[in-house]
Amino acid sequence: MELSLLINLFDVPGCLVVLNPVGSGNVNDTFNAIFRNTFDEHQVILQKINRKVFPEPEAIMRNLRRLTVHAHPKLLAEEEKQTADRVWQMPMIVQTKDKKDFYTDEDGQLWRVITKIPSATAFDSAQGTEHALECGAVLGHFHWLVSDLPTEQMVEPIPGFHVTPRYLRQYDETVENSSRAKELLRASTEVRRMEMFINERREFAYTLQQAMDRGELKLRMMHGDPKVNNIMIDNFTGKGTAMIDLDTVGPGLVHYDFGDALRSICNHAGEEESNLSKVVFDMNLFESFCRGYLRQARQFMTDADREYLYDSVRLITFELGLRFFQDYLAGDIYFKTQYPEQNLNRARVQFRLCESIESKERMIRESLAKL
């Protein structure tokens, strides 16, 4: 079906004037639609949910419905009390004209429309300390919004996504069973060094899982993909206003989000850097992000939660390095590559970042204790 016909199945007031693809996401197909009538304008986001990433998109939409039913009243109550120093937002589902949350097309693809966060930008990388602080505030506020959403109300969108020991098992299986892996390990001292790097951190890989098993950390709701380009910043005030890309929201540890956001924000060099000396963990961005985050997260975080914040940054960085390395050994099955050793290089970058984090452990812990 033509996109312009498809969008008209949804209940948006006015006449469609523009329907444009939106650039930088790499999971869903996203379009921006503008509808006008005599006195005003409605902008919405049309998306096709990627079935390869989310095998059960209907479940994703049920999650989104539960999430918004829980969070929107909290947002409205906050707005009424005017206790916040800004307006917090969260996209809303726009139903079809026959009152469904999504439309399934003739190929079985699932389309949905959500409201657009107006006059806001999702940057592709950290813009400086103020931006980092706002990113922290948005994530912390989001975690507060969902901190009392019962975990049994939501399904895990991608089961076991951040269970580090699971990746360790997968890695061990590859080393044991793949002849390519054996050959690479035999032929390269660097690959063997990376194997050692992993072996030295085996016990550490269980840290968060064990803390959860002991009951120190509680399963709550997490975002699942807290990259900077899923955090919207108001174009006029420069303040953070909303988390978007809500398909990965599900039960988990907020620590995974916290660690993952910092892993990506505090490394200027990005994930593809070939000059490893440029890969360092930026303490200024770290402190700013944490100041923004903890100011919001204070409302629900326990002392035990805070205990594990350092570990979460180290662990998520290690985990991603491990995943890249495992995929390189297995023959680039999961992460797409443009050149032969790209996943090896990605693993190098994350392991280097992990070492940089480890070398700053004392500073990181001290700075967390102060905030």
Ligand X SMILES: Nc1ncnc2c1ncn2[C@@H]1O[C@H](COP(=O)(O)OP(=O)(O)O)[C@@H](O)[C@H]1O
User: Given candidates 10, 48, 91, 324, which one binds ligand X under the rule CB under 6 A?
Assistant: 91
Angle at the Cα of 219 (from 215 to 358), degrees rounded to 5? 80
Residue 117's binding partner among Mg ion, ligand X, none (Cβ under 5 to 8 angstroms by kind) is: ligand X
Please identify the residue of the shown chain whose CB is closest to the bound Mg ion: 245
Residue 24's binding partner among ligand X, Mg ion, none (Cβ under 5 to 8 angstroms by kind) is: ligand X
- Restricting to residues 207-236, which ones interact with ligand X according to CB under 6 A? 229-230
Residue 198's binding partner among Mg ion, ligand X, none (Cβ under 5 to 8 angstroms by kind) is: none
Indicate whether 342 belongs to the interface with Mg ion (CB under 5 A). no
Closer CB to ligand X, residue 70 or residue 182? 70
Residue 38's binding partner among Mg ion, ligand X, none (Cβ under 5 to 8 angstroms by kind) is: none
- One symbol per residue from 233 to 252: x for binding ligand X (CB under 6 A), - otherwise; what is it? -----------xx-------
Residue 222's binding partner among Mg ion, ligand X, none (Cβ under 5 to 8 angstroms by kind) is: none
Q: Is 160 helix (H, G, I), strand (E, B) or coil?
A: coil
Q: Is 278 helix (H, G, I), strand (E, B) or coil?
A: helix
Closer CB to ligand X, residue 228 or residue 316? 228
- CA 224 from centroid of its chain's CA atoms: 4
- Restricting to residues 25-64, which ones interact with Mg ion according to CB under 5 A? 25
Indicate whether 317 belongs to the interface with ligand X (CB under 6 A). no
- CB distance 343 to 310 below 8 Å: no
DSSP string, 21-89: E--S-SSSEEEEEEEE-SS-EEEEEEEE--TTT-S-HHHHHHHHHHHHHHHHHHHHHHHHHT-SSS---
- One symbol per residue from 14 to 43: x for binding ligand X (CB under 6 A), - otherwise; what is it? --------x-xxxxx-x-------------
User: Given candidates 174, 230, 296, 326, which one binds Mg ion under the rule CB under 5 A?
Assistant: 230
> CA-to-CA distance for 23 and 30, rounded, in angstroms?
8
Min. distance of Cβ 89 from ligand X in angstroms?
A: 9
Residues 6 or more apart whose CB falls under 8 angstroms from that of 351 comprise: 194, 197, 318, 321, 325
- CB distance 247 to 54 below 8 Å: yes
Q: Which of 225, 252, 227, 59 is nearest to 163 (CA)?
A: 252
> CA-to-CA distance for 86 and 80, rounded, in angstroms?
12
* Number of residues counted as binding ligand X (CB under 6 A): 17
Residues 6 or more apart whose CB falls under 8 angstroms from that of 15 comprise: 35, 36, 37
Min. distance of Cβ 162 from Mg ion in angstroms?
A: 17
User: Given candidates 122, 168, 208, 233, which one binds ligand X under the rule CB under 6 A?
Assistant: 122
Q: Which of 166, 189, 28 is nearest to 109 (CA)?
A: 28
Closer CB to ligand X, residue 172 or residue 335? 335
Closer CB to ligand X, residue 245 or residue 355? 245
Indicate whether 245 belongs to the interface with Mg ion (CB under 5 A). yes
Q: Burial of 3 by CB count in 10 Å (0-12 exposed, 13-18 middle, 19+ buried)? A: middle
Q: Under the rule (CB under 6 A), what is the footprint of ligand X?
A: 22, 24-28, 30, 45, 91, 114, 116-117, 122, 229-230, 244-245
Q: Under the rule (CB under 5 A), what is the footprint of Mg ion?
A: 25, 230, 245
